[in-house]
A and B are shown apart, each in its own frame.
Chain A
């Protein structure tokens, strides 16, 4: 096993990776920006290095600096976490060139799955169901209109290089399409340097269900069932659970097998997630593949008993997967809620000074933290400051534990989405498993009197 690993990330995920490294006796190297000097993960690591100014392009996205720290500290491998450089092909290539192991799939696979059009093509060829749509980028508004009419409105406009909801918009008719096409293309160009757009049929009122996979360098692979992550705001997940409250055993198996087809076609290695949209009839369609650890990975760990970070480290170290598909079973039910520093009514972020953080304890409760009780929440990074994960024997028990926990979750000094989470998880429709991607719009926003 590696003797020393550098974590090229920050916040709760850096702390999460460090925890497993410690259990495996691996020394850890943290990197941090000037804004993160007091962050918990920095002091958890065995060594930590200041790598630059607060803004990500002057610190966490500075490949040269991170590579030089890796070499200086003698780290043999780099864990990229999620976001930041985790799906950056240049980074993956660069550190392999330096003789350091990238804890993730090969650079060519990251590149393929990072380009939505290439990913679609690849999945289609592998026999994974895809959403009807364009195979090539669409250049003009006129061309977009013709395409949209050929499979019928509503359609979804998507930036080829998009992410985090940027450059994405649903449109219902020619007029809306005209308005949306140019603006989104421009935004995508500004954010990602690539303004090419593609169009696909909009699957109405779907669920977002994803399959966790693990694969080693020796051709062995398994799927660790699904996570349902339908409840989202601003196209970002808020509540995630495993297993899905509704999926039939038959569809679960079919989706797992589709995921395995994708893994084999790509000769994928390490941990990855294949995201699907699922409609009311349980038709499922490939959405994208995330070639890294996901924010919501703990719910899978809770129901399978498998430490995904440990598996990532072992696979990256060239070991064979020990776990076999036939030995994997779903044990109980797990739910994660993301704690965001944001206004629960407008979803605008709320940077500022935390003055109190009191965490609920109890059976089945797990915390992942980016902050401590007196942290300064800076405006430079994602507003997610913590995750609360609960596990129970059944979904009912998990909801019961989560309800109790969230009502005892105390954050002061900044605005947080805790009140929103309370309303979501105590809502009858949530209890019924009516967790569609339109949940916030249909069931949460109407509870706000001033909305």
Chain B
């Protein structure tokens, strides 16, 4: 199980993956918006998205868990 965490504070602009999706290491799971820039959040493991912890528009802090990959 791998937790995918926000690399910086920002709001969740877009969720690219959904629960149940298969993702590869390096695929984007979500895109954050921080300081007027889109920040892709890639998966750090290959597997299935077990859980998405945030919704679009949510504010996240650096280190907050965005998704869990199994």
Contacts and interface: CB of A to CB of B under 8 A. Distances in A.
| A, B bound | yes
B9 interface: yes
A381 B36 contact: yes
A305 interface: no
A348 B37 contact: yes
Contacts of B7: 348
B39 A348 contact: yes
Contacts of A351: 8-10, 34-35, 62
B41 to A, nearest CB: 11
Contacts of B36: 164, 381-383
B30 to A, nearest CB: 15
Contacts of A378: 9
B37 to A, nearest CB: 6
Interface residues of A, number: 16
Contacts of A341: 35
Nearest to B14: A190
Contacts of A382: 35-36
Interface string A162-185: 001000000000000000000000
B6 to A, nearest CB: 10
Contact of B10 (A164, A234, A379): A379
Among A164, A351, A352, A382, which residue has the most Cβ atoms of chain B within 10 A?
A351
Contacts of A379: 8-11, 34-35
Interface residues of B, number: 11
Contacts of A164: 36
Interface in B1-33: 7-11
A341 B37 CA distance: 12
Interface string A329-352: 000000000000110000011111
A234 B39 CA distance: 13
B8 to A, nearest CB: 6
B66 to A, nearest CB: 15
A342 B62 CA distance: 15
A392 B37 CA distance: 35
Contacts of A348: 7-8, 37, 39
B38 to A, nearest CB: 9
A349 B37 CA distance: 8
A142 to B, nearest CB: 29
A352 B63 CA distance: 13
Interface string B29-60: 00000111101000000000000000000000
Contacts of B35: 341-342, 349, 351, 379-383
Contacts of B9: 351-352, 378-379
A380 B9 CA distance: 9
| Residue from B10, B35, B37 having most chain A Cβ neighbours under 10 A | B35
Nearest to A377: B35
B11 to A, nearest CB: 8
Nearest to A383: B35
Nearest to A351: B9
A379 B13 CA distance: 13
B57 to A, nearest CB: 10
A352 B35 CA distance: 11
Interface in A368-384: 378-383
B20 to A, nearest CB: 25
Interface centre among A55, A349, A378 (most CB of B within 10 A): A349
A55 B36 CA distance: 11
A383 B9 CA distance: 13
Interface string A17-61: 000000000000000000000000000000000000001000000
13 contacts: A55-B11, A164-B36, A234-B37, A341-B35, A348-B7, A348-B37, A348-B39, A349-B34, A349-B35, A352-B62, A379-B8, A383-B36, A383-B37
9 A-B pairs with the lowest CB-CB distances in the bound complex, closest first: A349-B35, A379-B34, A383-B35, A379-B9, A379-B10, A351-B9, A349-B34, A382-B36, A349-B37
Interface of A: 55, 164, 234, 341-342, 348-352, 378-383
Given A379-B9, A379-B35, 13 more contacts: A342-B35, A348-B7, A348-B8, A349-B34, A349-B35, A349-B37, A379-B10, A379-B11, A382-B35, A382-B36, A383-B35, A383-B36, A383-B37
